[in-house]
Structure 1
């Protein structure tokens, strides 16, 4: 049995492309100990499947919609590292995310739930764990080209993001008609993905040399469960039209997208820190996503959240 020499901590590894990436990572990197941060029930369900590939897998329960829950989970990882029960931490993967049918649901701390999980949780987890990363190390945050909000990238299924500053978009009901699927749930989703890219840019400025952070965009992926959350005609498109595109280069299945995510995690996909990875290579994210003042303001707000 290969001895584990590095630790990678990952959220969103219990289903979809995250689970596929976790399985691929363990096959290709037998020296990696994977720590899956997820809800206890979900983590317990996938743990036996991952351990069929490698014995170097453990789980830590976390509620990403709770600041206290994130703090407790991160503290547990720190204790394991400090005690030598985990090898040196070389990677953090923030792949978890939600896409809801409205923008009215709240986290345990009163934030709009999409923003809390897709943006705030990423920052809080990195704030606590990044001092333990050893160079060369890598942070990967899963984003979405839905943040463009245009016809080319979303096929008209998504509205444009509406960034009003973190103090506003973090609140339930921040958007006009927040109770509706498109103007509420989908707008909150695309806005949160824009916020996550802002966050990657600001962290890239602040992480020490040798620790890179990248935004990974899987683009269109079938069979992820997203259709259930999108509702309306978008659900029809995702369920019936998208599978037809599986035979084209335009979309990926979860195993293919998971392999590409594993490439980013393992450093096979080479890119400068702060880059936006579109499937397999660095690309430009939306023009709106490059705004240093907005990124600084988001950071300052997050530090006080």
Structure 2
């Protein structure tokens, strides 16, 4: 049996492309210990399937919509890494995300749920865990070409992003926030925010620790559309699957392999790059904005730090 000598921590590994990518990584790098970050209710059956590939799989419970839960999970991971219960950390993958039917849902902390899960939790975990990364290391943040918000990239199904920090972190920040279109605007805006995070972190991480934005593009059968409302779930179930036979769309298995290639470094790209499926290319013009990137960083850094239960400053 191969001994695990490096750790990979991953959100969004319980379904869709994340599940497929996790399986592919374990097959190709049996020396990896995979830590699945997710709710216990969704991880139990998944762990059994992953452990059929490798015994080096564990789980840490987390609710990405709760700052306290994220802090507690981060502290648990730090303890495991510091004690040697987990081998040295070489990779972080932020693949989890939500796409809702409105922009009104609030987290327990009062933030708009899409932005909290897709942007804020990523930064919070990175802030806690990045000191434990051992170069050469790689961080991957799953984004979306929906952040372009144009006809070419979304077929007219998604609006353009609306960037305004800190307004967009609050429920009800968009016009007619209770409507499906507002939920879609919140989603594409959060994916733009993910790219901003990648750019800003790439300037701050030490040499040998790369961070990349990965765009799987259109993937059928991931379950992401289940909460989007409107005609979108119908389109994803009945119309879009016909595209799977074309180069325009993937199913989870090939998309997961492409994500695994990015995680493992088989897809070469410089730190801060945007990878579209299999190669680095430019993201939207709007996504290159150092002032916005720095402002997002500063705002996230100024938020009150959550302390895990039983700890003090």
Shorter chain as denominator, the TM-score bin is over 0.9
Matches within 5 A, 1:6-85: 6-85=6-85
| Secondary structure, aligned partner of 1:137 | strand
Moved over 4 A (4+): none
Aligned length: 303
1:147 matches 2:147: yes
- The residue number in structure 1 matching 2:310 is none
| Unmatched 5+ stretches in structure 1 | none
CA–CA separation in structure 2 for the residues paired with 1:235 and 1:86: 40
Tell me the residue number matched to 1:169: 168
TM-score of the superposition, structure 1-length normalised? 0.98
**TM-superposition CA deviations, 1:163-194 (whole Å, max 9, x none):** 112x1000000000000001x11010000000
Counterpart among 194, 198, 202 of residue 196 in structure 2: 198
CA shift for structure 1 position 126: 0.2
TM-score, with structure 2 as normaliser: 0.96
Aligned to 1:102: 102
CA-CA distance at 1:16 after TM superposition:
0.7
Displacement, 1:242? 1.2
Q: Which residue of 1 aligns with 2:185?
A: 187
**SS of match in other structure, 2:250:** coil
Check the 8 A contact 2:112/2:169 in 1, yes or no: yes
Where does residue 311 of structure 2 map in the other structure? none
CA distance in 2: counterparts of 1:228 and 1:36, whole angstroms:
22
> Residue in 2 aligned with 1:211?
209
Pick aligned residue for 1:250 from 248, 255, 260: 248
CA distance in 2, matches of 1:11, 1:25: 14
| Cα deviation, residue 240, structure 1 | 1.4
**CA deviation profile, 1:214-262 (whole Å, cap 9, x unmatched):** 0000000000113322322333321112111111111000001000000
SS of equivalent to 2:9: strand
User: Is the Cα–Cα contact under 8 Å of residues 99 and 225 in structure 2 kept in the other structure?
Assistant: no
For structure 2, list consecutive stretches of 5 or more residues without a partner in the other structure. Answer: 304-313
Which residue does the alignment assign to 1:130? 130
Residue aligned with 1:42, SS: helix
Q: Aligned to 2:231, what secondary structure does the other structure show?
A: helix
